Amino acid sequence: MTTLDVSAVRTRFTGQVVAPGDDGYDGARALFYGGHDPRPAVVIRPADPAEVASVVRLAQETGLELSVRCGGHSPVGHSVVDGGIVLDLAHLRAIAVDVEERTVWAQAGLTAGDVTKALAEHGLAVGFGDTGTVGIGGITTGGGVGFLSRKYGMTIDNVLAAEVVTADGEILQVDDTHHPDLFWAIRGGGGNFGVVTRFKYQLHEVPGVVGGMILLPATPEVIHGFLREAAAAPEELSVIVNVMPAPPMPFIPAEHHGSMVVMGLVCYAGPAEEGEKVLAPIRALAEPIADFVRPITYAEMFMEEGDDEYHPTATARTMYADELDLGRVTQIVEQLRTAPAPIRVAQFRPLGGAVDRVAADATAYAHRGRAFMVNIASFLDGPDTRAEREQWVLDTSAVAENGVPGAYVNFLTEDGATRAREAYPGATWDRLTRVKQQYDPGNLFRRNVNIPPAG
C-alpha cells in the first residue's frame, strides 16, 4: 500500500476529485443508511468510462481498497470505504431511448427514479425496485425486485447488454454472445466482477397503472387474506405488504398512530377497469384506514425523495417462505406486537409470475421458484439497543422462514459474509467463483457480498 498523492490524482482526471478538507467531502462520503462514518482518502467522480478504467488502475497501483458507489443505498456501507478510493458513478448520467426498438441505454450514475421518469415520457418502463433514489447499478447487478416483477420479471431479466470495466482496466461490451459468462454473472452476482458503466434494457409499454398505498388494520386474517389474494391474482399485480406500526403521518388518522397496520403498496400494470376488479377482494378484507390506490402513471409509484438528513439505522434479515398460512402469520403478528423497538416491520413480497418463468440457471439469481420474499427489520435507538433488536429479528425470522434457506443479495446486511452461499447456492456459487477467477483474480472488487475467486 502506498500513500495517495491527491494533488497528482487531481491532474489525472477531468472528473471531480473530492478529498478530506474539500467543500462537499462530507456529502460525498454520506450514505443513505446511518451507523456509518467512513472517511475515504479520495472520492473520484469520473467523467466517462475511460476515467472509470483509470480509477480502477489507480486502485491497483496504490493497493488502496476500492469501493464503487451508485446510489449509496448499501445497508452495510459497501458504497464508501474508510481510507480508500471511492469510485462514484454520479456523473455518468447519459440516457438514450429507442422508442421504436423499445430499448434504452442508461449509464449507471442514474437512479431508478431518473430512468423511470425519462421513460414515462414515452409510455415505456422497465421494472426496478420500489425506491426512486436507488442507483440502477446496484439494484440491477443484484437482481431487482419491484412493482413490475410479476408481469415483466426482475430488472436483470430485462438487461440486454452492458458495458463493464474489469479489474485490469479493460472496457468490455458484454451480452449473450460477447463475454457470455461475465454477462451471466453481472445479472444477480452483484458488483463482484467489474464496474458496470451502462446497461441496455428491454422496455415495456406501461402507459398507466392502478397503484399506490392502501392502509388496513393488521389482523392476522387481513394480512393472510392480502397475501393470499395477491399471490393468486393475475401477474399484472405486484404488491409489497408491510406490517408495521402506523407512522405519525398527516394522512393517517391520529387514533391509528402507533397501532399495527398493513401498509400495502400495490401496482396493477394493466387496464384500470381490470385493476379495480382485481383489487376489490383486497379492499374488502377490512375498512381501509387510508386508500390512495388509483389510476396513475407508473412513475408516480416512486414517492418523492425524502429528507436528505434522514439516515435510518436498523438491523434486518432477508429470506424466503414457501407458504405463509394463517397460523404462521398469527405468530409473526404477535412477534411484531411485543417487539422491543418502537419501529419494526415485517415485509412480504409475493413472487411468481414472470419471475418464475425464467430458468434458475439463466442468471446468477437462483431463487426463481420461491413463493414469497420476506424481510424482517427493527430500527435502532442507539448502539446499545443493537443486541436486543438483532435477537428479535432472528427470532421473528425463525417464525417466518420456511423451505430451503435462501437470501436476496440486495437485502443482505451484516450477515452478508456468512450467508453468501444462501444467496448463491450450489452450482450458482461454483460458476460465479470461476467467473470471478477469470475477471477479478485478485479480488479487487470485494466491497460487496463477496464471491472469492475459485481456488
Spans of the chain, pLDDT less than 70:
1-2, 304-310
**The pLDDT of residue 383:** 86
Write down the residue that cell numbers 434486518 correspond to.
Answer: 316
pLDDT computed for residue 309 by the predictor: 67
Output the pLDDT for position 307: 55
Q: Are 328 and 402 in contact (CB under 8 A)?
A: yes
Q: Tens digit of pLDDT for each residue in 83-141? A: 999 999 999 999 999 999 999 999 999 999 999 999 999 999 999 999 999 999 999 99
The pLDDT value given to residue 2: 58
Q: What is the pLDDT of residue 363?
A: 98
Q: Which amino acid is residue 156, in one-letter code?
A: I
C-alpha span between 177 and 298 (Å, rounded) = 33
Domain ranges of the chain: 6-88, 95-205+426-439, 209-416
For residues 99-120, b (16+ Cβ closer than 10 Å) or e, as one string? eeebbbbbbbbbbbbbbbebbb
Q: What is the bridge-based pairing of β-strands 314-321 and 372-379?
A: antiparallel
Report phi then psi at 190, rounded to 5. Answer: 75, -160
* E strand or H helix at 149: helix 149-152
* Parallel/antiparallel/unpaired status of strands 66-69 and 85-88: parallel
What is the amino acid identity at position 313?
A: T
Q: In terms of residues, how long is the chain?
A: 455
User: So what's the pLDDT on residue 333?
Assistant: 98
Residues 6 or more apart whose CB falls under 8 angstroms from that of 396 comprise: 332, 335, 336, 339, 346, 376
Distance, CA of 353 to CA of 302 (rounded, Å): 22
Strands (E), 223-292: 237-245, 260-268, 290-291
* DSSP E strand stretches across 183-234: 195-202, 204-205, 209-217
What is the sign, positive or negative, of the torsion defined by CA atoms of 179, 180, 185, 191?
positive
Q: Are 269 and 298 in contact (CB under 8 A)?
A: yes
Domain 6-88, CATH: 3.30.43.10
C-alpha grid cell, residue 418: 456468512
Place of cell 393488521: 218
CA 128, CA 113: separation in Å to the nearest integer? 9
How many CB atoms are located within 10 Å of the residue 409 CB? 25
Domain 209-416 in the same topology as domain 95-205+426-439: no
> How is domain 209-416 classified at the CATH fold level?
Vanillyl-alcohol Oxidase; Chain A, domain 3 (3.40.462)
Model confidence over 343-376: pLDDT tens digits? 999 999 999 999 999 999 999 999 999 999 999 9
* C-alpha–C-alpha distance, residues 10 and 452, integer Å: 32
Q: Distance between CA 213 and CA 296 in Å, rounded?
A: 12
Q: What is the pLDDT of residue 1?
A: 44
* The listed CATH number (3.40.50.300, 3.90.226.10, 3.10.450.40, 3.30.465.10) that belongs to domain 95-205+426-439: 3.30.465.10
Q: What is the pLDDT of residue 3?
A: 74
User: From CA 84, how far away is CA 20, in angstroms rounded?
Assistant: 12
Q: Is the dihedral of CA 405, 322, 428, 186 positive or negative?
A: negative
Angle formed at CA 215 by CA 211 and CA 218, multiple of 5 degrees: 135
